[in-house]
Structure 1
Amino acid sequence: MTSTDGLRLLPFRGLRYAPDRVSSLTAVTSPPYDVVVRPDGVRYLETADPYNIVRLILPHAADPSARHRQAADTLARWRADGVLTPDPQPALYVYEQRAGDVLQRGLIGALRLDGPVLPHEDVIPEVVDDRAQLMRAAAANFEPLLLSYRGRGTATGATAVIERTVRRPPLLATTTEDGFAHRLWAVTAPADLAAVDADLAGRQALIADGHHRWATYQRLYEQTPGATPASPWACGLVLLVDTARYPLQVRAIHRVLPHLTPEAALTGLGGAFRARPLPADLTAALAALDDAAGNAFVLAGGPDTFHLLDRPDPELLARTVRGDRPESWRGLDATVLHSVLLDAVWRVPDRPSDISYLHDARAAVAQAARHGGTAVLMRAASEDTVRQLALEGVMMPRKSTSFGPKPASGLILRTLDA
């Protein structure tokens, strides 16, 4: 699609769970599909309620086509049975997440794909292909991705609409197991919708979380016969947050290398990094990582075996890290991990069967232990670094950073068959 100068966030008729058809809203929600730890997390969510959203976002069957058809059939059945029901009129949705001192508010809507949206990570083609087949079969966006933009940081424009709206009773309210309270409101007043539209007209967004879903939206539009800029396929479901008003949290995404034993990982270093044993405590290991200067990682072979890798060989860095990128990119931990350790030292193939990405350090350590492999625990890059590289058009290594809090899946869906 031809790019436009600003963002267009359009109202849509949200598809939501009927409260009287499920045990609770908490029991039918899920983390985003790429955060659920498989297979244990999938099984846990499936048993929480027979209508848990994980049956749509992570269906499991003998082959991919069967999985996608299963999700589509499940969605059709739940709609026909009144488990999922459409809201009476199109709306933008104010979405609030709160836990302790963390408060995030934003707008959920159907964002036109021709707006200025900046990616900062590459995507895995196989994942985009799988997500595209799933969404095409179901004709639905199951979960919003997370976008950020820089507003004025004051209660004007879209932010004023949000902060007026949250004074009203919400459409739904629930608290998920991670301790976050979630609330949702519909915005339908023409004056409010016009205020949002005018405020976003000169904005650009950064993909905070959901690069694969954004790439999927674009592929679906390009590959859907007869799709026009006015069709549902020309938009994708997003949560848009003004980080000048509601700063995002930035966390690391860890790697699990199931086929590389901890012993092989350490002996294979060959002086590439200094390796030091750490106390047999994950919290202490992560604290040591945070305190380390320069590029550093924690290698974990199980819940009580940790080593800090730091002080990489400068000559090796110069030889293996691309020289045609900005210094801020060359110095990223994720850049050094992939260019130096994974590619040059350990020679781990860049494919899903050899590298898994987990957002939770404890889950990464546990998964590595189950497979007899190695977890590489990471630190997060700053939002300012991510945004600056995105503005320069420089892609970070995939899964470099996790922004949050992420929207819970299952609170609102968007159908594409209307």
Structure 2
Amino acid sequence: MDFATDVPPYVAKPLELLPFRALMLAPNHVGDPASARALARPYRDVAARLTTWIAQGRAVADTAPALYVHEYTAAGLTVRGLVGALGMSRRTSSRADRAVWPHEEIHPEQAGELADRMHQMDLNPAPILLVHHGEPELRDVLADVTRGRPDWRYLDRSGQRQRIWAVRDPEALARIGTLLSETRCLIADGHHRYAAYLRLQQEHPGTAWDAGLAMLVDQVDTPLFLGAIHRTLPGTTLAALVEAAREAGAEVTTHGRRRALSALDSTHLVLTDGQSWHTVSPVNLDRAAAVSWLHERVLPRLGTPLMRIEHHHNVEDALAATSASSPAVLLPSPDFEQVRALVESGGLLPEKATSFQPKPSLGALMRPMTDG
């Protein structure tokens, strides 16, 4: 099985989120799947394609560099974050000095492909998502910004409501910089793009590639929802999974579908082939994430090594892919504090362990390398 095997370097404090000159798709193109063709192959033509879109009114470039307060609402959940160019040039191995904390391993070849793609595009097409516990004073600064009229406000094609404020005042920018300097943040989404940013910075030091586009969300103020990513396991059987779970020290109980699904919580997993249903209660799961227990204790005990794992962001999709030859493991949602404590103690979660939602629509804020 093709496991993720690499942990990218850690960016060192002080955390820097720098102004940039944003490129944005026009409101009626943000969140439109058809707009993805502007960022499609051949990637070397993307910059010229976006220039044409600007001339046609399908995209707009901001007039001057700024930090952006970006607030979006999807399915009744509002997320607000600070978007800027994340400084990538300083590295550290010291835990005390780390500003950005990955919580998953990555595939180096995938990160390399993303780096090559962004370099050809001459663009950061979307921000990685970072989460932190912000200082109350920083929340006050951002609240002052959002009391003003947004520079952009619209409902995009996907149904997300977007509000964006450009922050250019030198005093406000300096204050934000000071308040962010000691921040420790967790990567919520974009581990491979983060690794690609690091590679591009290393290959092109002293250029715009010294930074990469990021959105920093205060998990205390407007938290992202942290959900589970479920698994289906082609090539094994439900019986083999049940036996491996018991060998790992878990209590496995047979239930009907409804009762099994209702038992899915922080201390239980569910195994099913679509016909039979089992709840799994590992020992001491309160001290470890369920997904880590699965990968570290259960999957190695399967008699036949897995060739691949398929990932699903909701129970319905996982069950739709479930069969006798591809049983499902339904996982509980991880706890943010548990994830943060694990990472800051030196641990990591398996690949695709967490799903932070909702993510902003594509095209709301992009960073060209000629952002001036």
**Selected match of 1:111 from 73, 86, 95:** 86
2:291 aligned with 1:334 = yes
- What is the TM-score when the length of structure 2 is the normalising length? 0.82
**Selected match of 2:177 from 191, 197, 203:** 197
Contact 1:5–1:202 (CA<8 Å) still a contact in 2?
Answer: yes
Distance 1:189 1:267 in 2: 62
SS in 1 for 2:192: helix
| Equivalent position amino acid for 1:195 in 2 | R
Distance 1:355 1:362 in 2: 17
> Does the C-alpha gap of structure 1 residues 306 and 164 become closer, same or farther in structure 2, counting only changes over 3 Å?
farther
Distance 2:134 2:331 in 1: 30
Deviations 1:102-154 (A, max 9, x none): 332111111111371112221122321222222122121111111112223x3
Distance 1:260 1:307 in 2: 16
Contact 2:47–2:121 (CA<8 Å) still a contact in 1?
Answer: yes
**Selected match of 2:20 from 12, 34, 37:** 12
2:176 aligned with 1:222 = no
Distance 2:286 2:252 in 1: 25
SS in 2 for 1:289: coil
1:310 aligns to what?
280
Contact 1:255–1:376 (CA<8 Å) still a contact in 2?
Answer: yes
Distance 1:175 1:298 in 2: 37
> Does the C-alpha gap of structure 1 residues 208 and 375 become closer, same or farther in structure 2, counting only changes over 3 Å?
same
SS in 2 for 1:183: strand
2:212 aligns to what?
236
| Equivalent position amino acid for 1:366 in 2 | A
- Deviation of 1:306 after TM superposition, in Å, equals 5.4
Distance 1:81 1:138 in 2: 15
2:277 aligned with 1:301 = no
Distance 1:125 1:279 in 2: 42
> Does the C-alpha gap of structure 1 residues 366 and 167 become closer, same or farther in structure 2, counting only changes over 3 Å?
farther
Question: After superposition, where does 1:88-127 map in structure 2 within 5 Å?
Answer: 88-99=63-74, 102-113=77-88, 114=90, 116-127=99-110
2:121 aligns to what?
138
Distance 1:54 1:159 in 2: 39
2:321 aligned with 1:383 = no
1:363 aligns to what?
317
> Does the C-alpha gap of structure 1 residues 348 and 222 become closer, same or farther in structure 2, counting only changes over 3 Å?
farther
2:150 aligns to what?
169
List runs of 5+ in structure 2 lacking aligned partners: 1-8, 91-97
- Deviation of 1:207 after TM superposition, in Å, equals 1.3
Distance 1:99 1:404 in 2: 9
Question: After superposition, where does 1:46-61 map in structure 2 within 5 Å?
Answer: 49=34, 51=35, 53=36, 56=39, 59=40
Deviations 1:216-237 (A, max 9, x none): 111121233xx22xx2111111
1:76 aligns to what?
48
- Deviation of 1:270 after TM superposition, in Å, equals 7.0
**Selected match of 2:231 from 242, 255, 259:** 255
Moved more, 208-217 or 158-167: 158-167
> Does the C-alpha gap of structure 1 residues 413 and 269 become closer, same or farther in structure 2, counting only changes over 3 Å?
same
| Equivalent position amino acid for 1:85 in 2 | V
- Deviation of 1:8 after TM superposition, in Å, equals 0.9
SS in 2 for 1:164: helix
| Equivalent position amino acid for 1:169 in 2 | P
2:5 aligns to what?
none
Contact 2:31–2:362 (CA<8 Å) still a contact in 1?
Answer: no
| Equivalent position amino acid for 2:138 in 1 | G
- Deviation of 1:276 after TM superposition, in Å, equals 4.3
> Does the C-alpha gap of structure 1 residues 241 and 354 become closer, same or farther in structure 2, counting only changes over 3 Å?
same
Distance 1:173 1:166 in 2: 17
Deviations 1:338-377 (A, max 9, x none): 122222225544xxx61132322222322345x9523321
> Does the C-alpha gap of structure 1 residues 84 and 203 become closer, same or farther in structure 2, counting only changes over 3 Å?
same
> Does the C-alpha gap of structure 1 residues 160 and 138 become closer, same or farther in structure 2, counting only changes over 3 Å?
same
2:111 aligns to what?
128
> Does the C-alpha gap of structure 1 residues 289 and 54 become closer, same or farther in structure 2, counting only changes over 3 Å?
farther
% identity of equivalent residues: 33
2:165 aligned with 1:157 = no
Distance 1:190 1:342 in 2: 54
| Equivalent position amino acid for 2:129 in 1 | L
Report the aligned-residue RMSD. 3.1
- Deviation of 1:245 after TM superposition, in Å, equals 2.3
Contact 1:99–1:180 (CA<8 Å) still a contact in 2?
Answer: yes
2:166 aligns to what?
186
Contact 1:161–1:195 (CA<8 Å) still a contact in 2?
Answer: no
- What is the TM-score when the length of structure 1 is the normalising length? 0.73
- Deviation of 1:335 after TM superposition, in Å, equals 1.6
Deviations 1:237-263 (A, max 9, x none): 111012232233211111232333546
Contact 1:237–1:414 (CA<8 Å) still a contact in 2?
Answer: yes
Moved more, 72-81 or 131-140: 72-81
List runs of 5+ in structure 1 lacking aligned partners: 29-44, 60-68, 318-326
